[in-house]
Structure 1
Amino acid sequence: MSMEKSFDAKAAEARISAEWEKTNAFTAGANASRSETFTVMIPPPNVTGSLHIGHAFNNTLQDILVRWHRMRGFDTLWQPGQDHAGIATQMVVERQMMERQEPNRREIGRDAFVDKIWAWKQESGGTIINQLKRLGASLDWSRNAFTMSGAPSAPTGEEGNFHDAVIRVFVELYNKGIIYRGKRLVNWDPHFETAISDLEVENREVPGHMWHFKYPLAVNPETGERETYEYVERDEDGNITLRETRDYISIATTRPETMLGDGAVAVHPDDPRYAPIVGKLCEIPVGPKEHRRLIPIITDEYPDPDFGSGAVKITGAHDFNDYGVATRNGIPLYALMDTKGAMRVDGLSYEDSAAIATRAANGEDVGDVSAVNLVPEELRGLDRFDARKRVIAAITEEGLAVTDAEGAPFVENKKIMQPFGDRSNVVIEPMLTDQWFVDTKKIVQPAIDAVREGRTTILPEQHQKVYFHWLENIEPWTISRQLWWGHQIPVWYDGEGNQYCAATEAEAQAQAPGRNLTRDPDVLDTWFSSGLWPIGTLGWPEDTEALRKYFPTDVLVTGFDIIFFWVARMMMMQLAIVEKEPFHTVYVHGLVRDEKGAKMSKSKGNVIDPLTLIDDFGADALRMTLASMAAMGRDPKLGPRHVEGFRNFVTKIWNASRFAEMNGVRGGGGRPAPRHTVNRWIIGETARIRMATDEALASYRFNDAANGLYAFVWGKVCDWYVEFAKPLFDGEYADETRATMGWVLDQCYLMLHPVMPFVTEELWSLTGERGKMLVHGDWPEYGAELIDADADREINWVISLIEDIRSARAQMGVPAGARLDLIVTEADAAASRALTANAPLIERLARVNAPQDGVAGKGMIAVSAQGASFALPIGDVIDAAAETARLEKSLAKSGKDADGLRKRLNNPKFVENADAEVIEETRDKLIALDDDISRLHAALAQLEAMR
């Protein structure tokens, strides 16, 4: 069957993908010819997800590794699956119910709502699977896993035992005292009414305000007057700039409503301004005057003396930094809000609550303060932001706002970082709630040791710092969520609040005979279940064949943003449960940015849809683009023009293959042993790129592998070899040239396949008789033994000469159609032999006449090659004066641009403040400009010498 004029990516991709799936080409162990296994676990996308450019990048890199190992005969498993995505999935289904005007989840109840989620999952939850198939991801889809498989609520068809693994781990860690229930500060989403992880919090810079208020010092009971102190400010030289008597301490806050829950005011222990009042009491300037609360002034390392007034209000139940100060100093934690972010209406009256808080301020142990509600009666039930307005107005009216020089309340308008729920889009509230925690300090050390001692390697090494920093400063991990979709906490309570942890209700009831038990309504954080991904997908806790064969896994390819959320937790969990590292290598890739280097976001309108790129340019072009940009430690900068460029590469190899077909070339034969220098040379070049590709992939230098193959296929094969071979199709070397070209193109298909699977599979099927599909092609193993030093030297000499002649012609503005004389002014024996043997090629490709001996003269420019010198007479075909003017203009511009870059690099502020990537790009641009300047100087010198 003859090849079409062009490659129809859309039609071919669908057909080839279907054939791969029909023949079970990706099944674990397919094409295995050796005992070694190679296992990769996909970072499970959310079941609600659709393919974004980060997914495309991540999965392209995984697929390259997997296809490479599969072709090398490894028993390969790329494990697919999806995460049940608690909040995201619950949100999708609730929104769907609202759009359909159905009763909400609370009206229909938990069981019915969960059934609806399962129905949605079965109908719409496979979107990203089909999109990954469009990308060409060769996962073993027969083993597709789901983090809620095996749950009691799962319908028929949702097979698997992931739920068993999750519950068993919880019970085991609970029994070891590693999982416990306690009260701590967490990120709280008032819309979903649940705790969320840091990864689900999006910190945004928004317009905000900083209010400055006075906290009056307590009244001295003996004098009936307020305490005072001498407040002194000094400059850097110790000179007094302000001295005054004050009866207050001032603080600044962006959240005045939280003042109601203050437990103290903190200052730095080395701040001399407040030394006279440390240990004294001050009033919170809000609330009923007859019950105005007093709080202590304490010292702590947290306040920054150089920021604001240097004094910080401590609201331990509503701020993470304050929580640390409060717990260190024994300050009570007073919760102010309910689960919806409104001011509390429950608990004690304000009068009783204020009395308890006053006793605490005087140093009494008041015990559990959860019933203490310090919200004044008139503010109870208000939304937190409405309460804020009331608090500000009351303080200002009372005259306790710090004022500016004109007597107006001092309010700073400034940008502030505010946390938002990434799903709910509401402001997150740090909340003190009862949650389930993993005491991570008890299981963290093996995960640290595994990387420190080299059993697991994190690449690039810079990301090890993130890993170690988080693990060495780890806090208890909040694993409970106040949702209905997820693994329900396997703990039951009796009427007295006693806990019974068990895998099933029957087992829990056996622990509490005769007692009525109620199950904890919370579910587990999805990071807890996905933390068990490596063993849970392989059938643990059962002793399965897959678990024995494919665990521990080999390489995890992931983004830097989940190193601690997922990577570190998988390390901790697997080591705690099965005492093995889950993978030997973690490859951390960068963040795909737009072509200007900006982070992609919907608000900026610069998000790139990979499916659109696949529609426009084909999956191979997108994959090759992403691989070529995957430099270790760098963020790829992607735009449609980059993908379009690699679409041209697809066209290039298609056209070269079609040219070969039209000249009687067929693939599928063995490696030839040619006599002609050109054929011996290209076989050696093929061996070189095979070795370079293997070395690059083994080192996770995806960009080097992709760019090396690009340069070889486009430059060495499609350009030079195709041109060199054209005259050889007639004559004594015709058969060997056809055999060589067929073999070389086969090697191109084989080596390109991991990166560009579709077009290579298509070409493989069209260009020869094959025993199997390319996906199971045998990866080449030849090496340096195929390099012919003499052929290599001769042909590379010819290429160098042709390139130098072409460059000189272009530099001097010689018309493309002009054929020049080639004057040989000097040539040693090796150069003469190469010139004589390849003169027809040089004449045709450099557009010169037959070489002739002579001397350089007026109107000629010089060109050199190893062991030879040449002259090109161009005086009669160019306007030397015009060319000189053109080159001088280019030289002036390049010189100006280079000076600007040099000044930038010599500016210490630029070097100190700019990103390393920006500095490197600037240096690269300067090097390129300096090279251009050197060439321009050389060309001008040539023109001058012609006169």
Structure 2
Amino acid sequence: MVEKVEMAKTYDPALVEGKWYRYWEKNGFFHDEVNKEKPAFSIVMPPPNVTGALHLGHAMDGTIQDILTRYKRMQGYNTLWLPGTDHAGIATQAKVEGQLAKEGTNRNELGREKFLERVWDWKGQYGGRITQQLRRLGASCDWERERFTMDEGCSKAVREAFVDLYNKGLIYRGNYIINWCPKCHTTISDIEVEHVDHEGNLYHLRYPVKDSDESLIVATTRPETMLGDTAVAVHPDDERYTHLIGKTLILPLMDREIPIIADEYVDREFGTGAVKITPAHDPNDFEIGLRHHLPQIVVLDKEAKMNENAGKYQGLDRFEARKAVVNDLKTAGVLVKIDPHAHAVGECYRCSSVIEPMVSRQWFVKMEPLAKPAIEVVRDGRLEFVPDRFDKIYLGWMENIRDWCISRQLWWGHRIPVWYCEDCGKEICTKEDPSTCPTCGSGHLKQDPDVLDTWFSSGLWPFSTMGWPEKTPELEQFYPTSVLVTGRDIIFFWVARMIFMAMEFMKEVPFPKVMIHGLVLDAQGRKMSKSLGNGVDPIEVIEQYGADTLRFMLITGNTPGNDLRFHPERLEATRNFSNKIWNASRFVLLNLEDYEEGPRGELMLADRWILSRYASTVENVTGALENFDLGEAGRLLYEFIWNEFCDWYIELTKPRLYNKEDVVARHTAQSVLLEILEGTLRLLHPYMPFLTEEIWQNLPIQGESIMMQAWPEVPAYKDAVAEKNMTLLMEAIKAIRNIRAEMKVAPGQKVEILMLAPDPTQRAVLENGKADILKLAGGASVEFFQMLAEKPSQAASAVLEGVEIYLPLKGLMDLDKEVARLEKEMSVATQDQQILEVKLNNPGFTGKAPAAVVAKEREKLEGIIARKAALEERLKELEQNS
């Protein structure tokens, strides 16, 4: 016999979540040893920055991964969800430099070694903040295998990869156009540049042709860079300028001779069709310069101030120089006009400083040979994006990829493993730190001061975290990983790098599926940011509503790949759902006091119906999860739990539960309630781990934790007849309730009910459900008829498929209101009919959908047409009696 369980009247997440998370972690439920006897499922967590705090994007990403991991764990997979953090070179260094500034010092005064000690101290003190917050979210990742992009194993992998690419000639050092951040004092990659619209000007400048009265007018948004011009380009087919190609111009202010060149890159329609070429300060000009062998004149230094090549403007900030140059051009009569011109300006994604493109000597990865296999795996289907529309985005970027600048002028990060012999100039790249020069034997070696782009180490993440380059049991069992879960904004930053790194070093994809989710926006559809003040702290949400509420809200009501708008009222709705589950579970437990396991008695229609609906829910939820449609799986659970289990089945069991004299009927109801509740909690567990664990632990079920229970198999309960009959009964009860509500019949007032059901099967179903109709529809009496000689005139009515319901409300009914109500029903039925007719007239649906689905839609259409006919007849009767 089940012991009496006293669950609290209300669910309080604060009393539950910490308790169960500590229990799970203490018992090692998140950790799975390598087991070759089981199929493997693995995910690597996109490593959040060690400087970071949990935001809603992390919360969504972590929840999706946790749902998939808990689901597969319950399915019996050998499961690994590997967590970790990224060292975040620029961001972390900036944090520590900020601390040093408050102390009145800086990294240069400390020196590199002491500075790095301070960074490691900072990491030890603050670096675990986001992982603790992920625990608050309920993340069931294997914390025993937690990694850091600069831990010993990952550092070894980085060295291995760099040296291998260097020896293959895929890493080189050269002068190339890069993105320079004058505030962070480092290069950043193209994908780390955010293009922001700025209000600016288009300056039209006159460049005189040497030994001629002619001149060329060029248009530029950055007149200060003209000091580094080495040519003016026109389109070779532009008839305005063909006679000038090959001639020489005099560069204003600098009096330097520069050529007029022809290049098809030039847009004849923009500006004047003549473009100033500054190869050292514009990526497109740089490429043109290479094609035409133009010199590269750098006129800005690393502080974004004009350098010695800028003549008299040396030392001026770039924006101060712009004003000075424009004034001098105006004085010299070279400035033709200034037009207002809004244009996109590149900004550093970290500090929002305007980026300065400039030629610099840096380390690069040759991308063309690495990109080719990474493109092929998507084209041939070995790697798929979910949704598949992201294939095009990925391929478009990869097919136009430029060489990757991997050097950063920072101290925090993986230092480039290249040394230079100060005696003979030999460049040495090796996996172990060298002590002498292999060429001349000198011990005077100096290591390259730069560090690697953070994305270099995180590009190795799927296999470096599992021990590569060593052949570890984890690497053998869990690689390739099963799926990558990440946001749509990080495809280029991270996903592409992992794919081409994996193809180079592992010779297979790092994951067969990439599940892309959208961003979390505010209610107005804007990105959340500090400047807008529209950010939402997930920890505050958890403290107010609980982690399960946040998790379920973030995942449901959205489709794969699409952005989600954060509406606070949805949190309230989800909390109501949690409370609904709690109250239903509490009701079930309160009515299990005398329950003992044993065979069930005869199942009633409601039992057969809920068991059948449960079987379909298991099947459909499992199918949605397999297709990574987590929002749909959540919706199915919500509909089943709230609308079917709680609102209907529990109410339908109450007469049997309260009738303790009929032991068999009571036991049967208890047994079905317990089975459905326990199975549904397991289905819901990946979404709401804390709530489901707390309830499950109170059930008369053996086991350590719900998370270690098996995922429900689809039971052999499907019963189409029971579902059809129960639907009829529920529709009848709902129709009566609707009439009562619209006619404003007092809740306690009982009404007479007449049901016309010519079909004997339907009539039998309704007659067998008489007690339920009386109880749930507030009936004083109910009568069933095969036919009616005369239909009641002073009665409100409802028309179902094959059934007509009448509520004699003489003296209570407003005839005009009843006509209006039926006309409204007719309008809804007409709309439904039109929608179905369009669907069934569409060859795309009838030709592709399964025959059973098409047949079901045709049957639905026939039912609507019959219902409309009955409504028309009833309206005529009312008109005759009015």
TM over 0.5: yes
Deviation at 1:81, TM superposition (A): 0.2
Matched, 1:267 2:234: yes
Counterpart position of 2:140:
138
- One-letter identity of the residue aligned with 2:135: K
Which moved further from structure 2: 208-217 or 131-140? Answer: 208-217
* Matched ranges for 1:712-861 at <5 A: 712-729=640-657, 730=659, 731=662, 732-783=664-715, 785-811=716-742, 816-852=747-783, 853=785, 854=788, 855-861=790-796
CA distance in 1 between counterparts of 2:640 and 2:165 reads: 55
Correspondence for 2:8: 4
- What displacement does 1:661 show? 1.7
Give the C-alpha shift of residue 210 in structure 1. Answer: 1.9
| 1:576 aligned to which of 504, 517, 530 | 504
Structure 1 residues 630-656: Cα deviation after superposition (integer angstroms, max 9, x where no partner): 412321112211121111100000000
Q: Is the 8 A contact 2:421 2:437 kept in 1?
A: no
Instruction: Provide the residue aligned with 2:73 in structure 1.
Output: 70
390, 393, 397: which is aligned to 2:331?
397
1:176 match: 168
The alignment covers a number of residue pairs equal to 830
| Contact 2:197–2:343, Cα closer than 8 Å, also in 1 | yes
1:886-901 correspondence runs (5 A): none
Corresponding residue of 1:82: 85
Query: Among residues 33, 38, 50, which one is paired with 1:35 in the alignment?
Result: 38
2:417 to 490, 504, 522: 490
Closer, same or farther: CA 726–488 of 1 in aligned 2, 3 Å: same
- CA offsets 1:199-255 (integer angstroms, 9 cap, x no match): 432222222222221112222xxxxxx24xxxxxxxxxxxxxxxxxxx222122111
Q: Distance in 2 between matches of 1:317 and 1:667?
A: 82
Q: Cα distance 1:671–1:941, how it changes in 2: closer, same or farther (>3 A)?
A: farther
Aligned-residue CA RMSD (Å): 2.7
Question: Which residue of structure 1 lines up, in the alignment, with residue 199 of structure 2?
Answer: 207
CA deviation profile, 1:476-517 (whole Å, cap 9, x unmatched): 111110000000000001124331001222366446512511
Given the alignment, which residue of 467, 477, 481 partners 1:539?
467
Q: Is the alpha carbon distance of 1:946 and 1:218 closer, same or farther for their aligned partners in structure 2, counting shifts above 3 Å?
A: farther
Please list, as runs of the form range in 1=range in 2, the aligned pairs for 1:420-439 lying within 5 A after superposition: 420-439=347-366
Matched ranges for 1:137-536 at <5 A: 137-150=139-152, 161-219=153-211, 226-227=212-213, 247-287=214-254, 292-345=255-308, 373=309, 375-376=310-311, 378-402=312-336, 410-495=337-422, 496-506=424-434, 509-510=437-438, 512-536=440-464
Distance 1:383 1:768 in 2: 75
Report the Cα distance in structure 1 between the residues aligned to 2:28 and 2:878, rounded to whole angstroms. Answer: 65
Relative distance call for 1:476 and 1:137 in structure 2 (3 A) is same
What is the rounded CA distance, in whole Å, between the counterparts of 2:878 and 2:172 in structure 1? 83
Matched to 1:105, the amino acid is R
Q: Distance in 2 between matches of 1:620 and 1:81?
A: 23
Report the CA distance between 1:857 and its aligned residue: 2.9
Q: 440-449 vs 196-205, which deviates more? A: 196-205
TM-superposed deviation, 1:307: 2.1
**Residue 625 of structure 1 aligns with which residue?**
553
1:206–1:716 Cα change, 3 Å: same
* 1:543-598 Cα shifts (integer Å, max 9, x gaps): 21111111111100111122122111111111111212111111111111222322
Is residue 864 from structure 1 mapped to residue 795 from structure 2 by the alignment? no
Q: Distance in 2 between the 1:672 and 1:432 partners?
A: 81
SS in 2 for 1:419: strand
Q: Indicate the SS of the match to 2:392.
A: helix
Rounded to whole Å, the distance in 2 between the matches of 1:668 and 1:582 is 51
Distance 1:508 1:643 in 2: 64
- The amino acid of 1:529's aligned partner reads S
Partner of 2:116: 114
- Which amino acid in structure 1 is aligned with residue 15 of structure 2? A
Shift of 1:309: 1.6
Q: What corresponds to 2:838 in structure 1?
A: none
Conservation of the 8 A alpha-carbon contact between 1:502 and 1:508: no
- Whether the 8 Å contact between 1:667 and 1:745 is mirrored in structure 2 is no
Q: Secondary structure at the match of 2:781?
A: coil
1:612 counterpart = 2:544: no
Query: Displacement of 1:887 after TM fit?
Result: 10
Per-residue CA distance 1:72-118 (angstroms, 9 max, x = gap): 1100000000000000000011111212x242100010000000000
> Is 202-211 or 679-688 further displaced after alignment?
202-211
Is residue 36–residue 477 contact of structure 2 (8 Å, CA) maintained in 1? no
CA contact (8 A) 1:665 1:739 kept: no
Structure 2 length normalisation: TM-score? 0.90
- CA change 1:628–1:34 in 2 (3 A) is farther
Cα distance in 2 for residues equivalent to 1:180 and 1:502: 14
- DSSP-derived class of the 1:680 partner: helix
In structure 1, distance between residues paired with 2:730 and 2:74: 33
| SS of residue matched to 1:328 | helix
Classify the secondary structure of the residue corresponding to 1:181. strand
Shift of 1:672: 5.6
Question: CA 1:670 to 1:192, structure 2 compared with 1: closer, same or farther past 3 Å?
Answer: farther
Shift in alpha-carbon separation, 1:850–1:301, aligned structure 2, 3 A = farther
Q: TM-score scaled to structure 1, two decimals? A: 0.84
The 1:825–1:629 alpha-carbon spacing in structure 2 relative to 1, beyond 3 Å, is: closer
CA contact (8 A) 1:420 1:428 kept: yes
Is 1:876 matched with 2:811? yes
Moved more, 748-757 or 812-821: 812-821
C-alpha contact (below 8 Å) 1:839/1:850 kept by paired residues: no
- Whole-angstrom distance in 2 between the partners of 1:940 and 1:596: 45
2:426 touches 2:439 (CA, 8 Å); kept in 1? Answer: no
Give, as a single letter, the amino acid of the residue that structure 2 aligns with 1:129. Answer: T
Equivalent position to 2:17, from 13, 17, 23: 13
Q: What whole-Å deviation, never above 9, does each CA across 1:655-702 have from its counterpart, x for those lacking one?
A: 001111222269996996752221122111111100001100000111
Q: Is the 8 A contact 1:627 1:703 kept in 2?
A: yes
Do the aligned residues in 2 keep the contact of 1:668 with 1:770 (CA within 8 Å)? no
- Change in Cα spacing, 1:310 to 1:815, as seen in structure 2 (3 Å) is farther
- Cα distance change of structure 1 residues 819 and 598 upon mapping to structure 2, 3 Å threshold: farther
CA distance in 2, matches of 1:207, 1:670: 77
Amino acid aligned to 1:325: I
Q: CA deviation at 1:717?
A: 0.6
Q: How far apart in 1 are the matches of 2:197 and 2:779?
A: 64
Q: Equivalent pairs: percent with the same residue? A: 42
Partner secondary structure for residue 586 of structure 1: strand
Classify the secondary structure of the residue corresponding to 2:335. Answer: coil
Give the 3 Å change call, closer, same or farther, for CA 469–68 of structure 1 in structure 2: same
1:661 matched to 2:627: no
Measured at CA, do residues 542 and 872 of structure 1 come closer, stay the same or move farther in structure 2, by a change above 3 Å? same
CA 1:943–1:657 in 2, change beyond 3 Å: closer, same or farther?
Answer: farther
Structure 1 gap segments, 5+ residues each: 151-160, 220-225, 228-246, 346-372, 403-409, 896-933
Matches of 1:115 and 1:581, distance apart in 2: 37
CA 535–779 in structure 1, closer or farther in 2 if over 3 Å, else same: same
Q: Deviations over 1:330-370 (max 9, x none)?
A: 2222211111111113xxxxxxxxxxxxxxxxxxxxxxxxx
Cα 1:468–1:33, aligned 2, differ >3 Å: closer, same or farther? closer
Secondary structure of the 2:779 match is coil
Query: Structure 2 CA distance, aligned partners of 1:513 and 1:946?
Result: 114
Report SS of the residue matched to 2:363: strand
Q: Deviations over 1:9-29 (max 9, x none)?
A: 012111111111111110024
How far does residue 739 in structure 1 lie from its aligned partner after superposition?
A: 1.1
